[in-house]
């Protein structure tokens, strides 16, 4: 399961070498479709990638800080910095390819 992130614990998670954050909302149907995929990736990449979720309605300051205009919106952070942004309910393979690219670096 992906970890629920808030303003209180978000910065702490960025201390992990590679982080995938799913910005989502409960009313967003594509977000709901992508949710199980994010949880699967959390299990598949356990120990390699920290996977978290930010519910934007309850964490508007984080959504603003990272310029979230559309959801679902995935941001990959490497060494605490955003390195890739994936918008929309994309296939699992697309997300895996992006993560694998940064695991190899």
Give kind and range of the element (H or E) at residue 63: helix 60-65
Catalytic residue, chosen from 5, 18, 31, 62, is: 31
Backbone angles phi, psi at 95, to 5 degrees: -70, -45
| Among 101, 103, 75, 99, residue whose Cα is nearest residue 87 | 75
Catalytic residue, chosen from 28, 68, 76, 95, is: 28
Bridge partners (DSSP) of residue 75 are 21, 85
User: Is 31 a residue of the active site?
Assistant: yes
User: Is 28 a residue of the active site?
Assistant: yes
Catalytic residues, by residue number, are: 28, 31
């Amino acid at each position: 399961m992906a970890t629920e992130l808030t303003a209180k614990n978000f910065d702490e998670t960025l201390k992990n070498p590679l982080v995938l954050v799913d910005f989502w909302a409960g009313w967003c149907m594509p977000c709901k479709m992508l949710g199980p995929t994010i949880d699967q990736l959390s299990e598949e990449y356990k120990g390699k990638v920290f996977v978290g979720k930010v519910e934007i309605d309850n964490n508007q300051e984080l959504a603003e800080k990272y310029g979230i205009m559309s959801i679902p919106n995935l941001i990959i952070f490497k060494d605490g910095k955003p390195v890739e942004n994936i918008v929309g309910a994309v296939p699992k393979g697309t997300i895996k390819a992006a993560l694998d690219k940064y695991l190899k670096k």
